[in-house]
Copies of this chain bind each other. A is one copy, B any other.
Amino acid sequence: MKPSVVTIEPNGHFCDDCAVRGAAVCSSLDAAELREFEHLGRRVHFDSGETVFSEEDITTSFYNVLEGVMRLYKLLSDGRRQIVGFALPGDFLGMNLSGRHNFSADAIGAVTVCQFAKAPFGRFIEDRPQLLRRINELAIRELSQARDHMVLLGRRSADEKVATFLLGWRERLVALKGLSDTVPLPMSRQDIADYLGLTIETVSRTFTKLERHGVIEIIHGGISLLDPARAEALAAA
C-alpha cells in the first residue's frame, strides 16, 4: 500500500457544514450536544486505496463516513477475500466487542471520515442513551442487510447476484443523491466479484450479457440502467 499522507484538519466547529449532519449517528443529538460532540471528532482524509483500519487491529477509533466509498472486507489466510459491505456517507464503523476490528476497511477513491477516539467517545455516550439508541439502530439495520446478503451469497445464481447488486447499489445512491438511472460504480470488477462471491470473469460476462439484453449500458465508471423492471425481474427470481 502506498504511504501517502493523511491530512488532519484542526478541530473546531465543522459540524455546521457537515454533509451527514442530520443523518448518521449525529441525528440523535440536539444542537447543544452537537456542539460538544464536534470537539470529539476530527475530519480525516484518505486517498484512494489507503487502508483506514485492518482486521485484528486494536480498535482505537470509531469512524463516521462523510464522503466517498469504502470497501469492508475479510481475508482468508490464502488470500481469498470476501467484501462484507461498502460503506457510504452516514455509515458508522468500528463497533465491536473484542476490542479489535473484525474486518478491514479501505478507501475506494478519496474518502473523508469523522474520526472519534474510542475512550472519549465511550465517555460521551455513557450518559446519552439517545446516541446509544441510534447506534443500536444502525447495528440492527446492518444486521438485517447482512442477513439479506447471506441469502444472496448462499442461494442466488450469478445473474441474480449481479442484478441484485446493481439495484441495491443504485438504491443506496438514490437515498444519498437523488434518483438517477446512471449508476456510478467506483469499485473495481474484482471488488464486485469479492462482494458477490464470484470471480471477476463471471462478473464481467454477466455485465456484458445484461448489456446485450438491453437491461443496462456499460459506461465509463459505471452503468446506465436502461430497463429497471427487467433488472428487478432478474433479481427477484
> Is A4 an interface residue when CB atoms closer than 8 A count as contact?
no
> Is A136 an interface residue when CB atoms closer than 8 A count as contact?
yes
**Is A82 a contact partner of B150 (Cβ separation < 8 A)?**
yes
Determine chain A's interface SS by DSSP, over half rule.
helix
> Is A151 an interface residue when CB atoms closer than 8 A count as contact?
yes
Q: A129 CA to B136 CA in the complex, in Å? A: 11
The residues of B that contact A147 with a CB separation of less than 8 Å are: 74, 84, 102-103, 146
Q: A222 CA to B219 CA in the complex, in Å? A: 53
Q: Name A168-214 residues within 8 Å CB distance of B.
A: 194, 196-197
> Is A133 an interface residue when CB atoms closer than 8 A count as contact?
yes
**Number of contact residues on A: which range applies?**
35 or more
Mask: chain A, 219-237; 1 = CB below 8 Å from B; 0 = not: 0000000000000000011
Contact of A150 (CB < 8 Å), options: B84, B96, B140, B141: B84
Q: A143 CA to B98 CA in the complex, in Å? A: 13
Q: A95 CA to B140 CA in the complex, in Å? A: 7
- Looking at A81, A96, A136, which has the most chain B CB atoms within 10 Å of its CB? A136
Whole-angstrom distance between the Cβ of A145 and the nearest chain B Cβ: 9
Q: What 8 pairs across the A-B complex have the smallest Cβ distances?
A: A154-B197, A146-B146, A153-B153, A82-B151, A139-B139, A136-B136, A153-B154, A80-B155
